[in-house]
Amino acid sequence: QKEVEQDPGPLSVPEGAIVSLNCTYSNSAFQYFMWYRQYSRKGPELLMYTYSSGNKEDGRFTAQVDKSSKYISLFIRDSQPSDSATYLCATTTQGGSEKLVFGKGTKLTVNP
Amino acid sequence: NAGVMQNPRHLVRRRGQEARLRCSPMKGHSHVYWYRQLPEEGLKFMVYLQKENIIDESGMPKERFSAEFPKEGPSILRIQQVVRGDSAAYFCASSPRRDRGATEAFFGQGTRLTVV
């Protein structure tokens, strides 16, 4: 079993739709959870960073963590064509941990 | 403040040659991480370095791969005697603080290595 599972998609939605991206993880020691956005041929860009269960909102983006079910989500409201990218979930055991464990990424296309 | 700088952006090597990938961290960052992204795969941790020290190299292949972060100059990821399976995108990330570690890491644009 992989440490972090993420549906690779691809996911295609119309502009304005609400997008839900999800990951599951297996290691209870994971404490910090991140979502990265990666445009084609570019480096990953940190979108959201959360610790512990609950929700965190930033503009059109909401990150949700449910530690009891080892499930993390990213919601994008009012999706835009510029949101078209690959979204990577990542996690690590502690704030000072040196390594991030990534999901494979979900490729999202928002159609105008 | 320039971001994490990687060069070259694209590198083509013949089988058996050496590949050298460079990474200059963001100003003020003293922690560097290297990740590899194979086609259709997520990023995989390779190595974590501080100036003049390798802290964690648990993700590095046992042979042909090495990394350094000297007191002066960029971090270098070196791949000797490259094989076709080494073809991938190699990303460098840097962070400012040990206590926040990889959670505050910022990534460069990557070096895309192609072995022919």
Both tokens assigned to B5: 């700088």
| CATH number where A36 lies | 2.60.40.10
Three-point CA angle A72, A98, A26, nearest 5°: 35
Counting as low any pLDDT under 70, the low residues of chain A are: 1, 94-97
Chain B residues closer than 8 Å to A92 by CB: 101-103
- Contacts of residue A17, defined as CB under 8 A and 6 or more positions apart, other chains included, come to A79, A110
Which residues span the domain enclosing A38? 4-111
Distance separating the N- and C-terminal Cα atoms of chain B: 36
- Kindly identify which residue of chain B lies nearest to residue A2, measuring between CA atoms: B42
Q: Of B21, B90, B103, which to mutate for an interface test with A (greatest number of A Cβ within 10 Å)?
A: B103
Q: pLDDT-based confidence at B14, cuts 50/70/90?
A: very high
Q: Of A56, A100, A107, which to mutate for an interface test with B (greatest number of B Cβ within 10 Å)?
A: A100
* A46 touching B (Cβ < 8 Å): yes
Quick check: B93 and B108 in contact, CB under 8 A? yes
Number of domains within chain A: 1
Instruction: Provide the 3-class DSSP secondary structure of residue B53.
Output: strand
Reported as a single tens digit per residue, the pLDDT across B16-47 is 999 999 999 999 888 999 999 987 788 999 99
Instruction: Provide the 3-class DSSP secondary structure of residue B101.
Output: helix
With a cut of 60, say whether residue B1 has pLDDT above it. no
Residues B42, A105: C-beta atoms closer than 8 Å: yes
Q: Which of B41, B98, B103 sits opposite A92 (nearest CB)?
A: B103
The greatest distance separating any two alpha carbons of chain B, rounded to the nearest whole angstrom, comes to: 41
The pLDDT of residue B79: 98
Reported as a single tens digit per residue, the pLDDT across B68-111 is 999 999 999 999 999 999 999 999 999 887 666 666 788 999 99
Question: How close B81 comes to chain A (CA, Å)?
Answer: 25
DSSP state at residue B78: E
Question: How close A48 comes to chain B (CA, Å)?
Answer: 10
Residues B102, A43: C-beta atoms closer than 8 Å: no
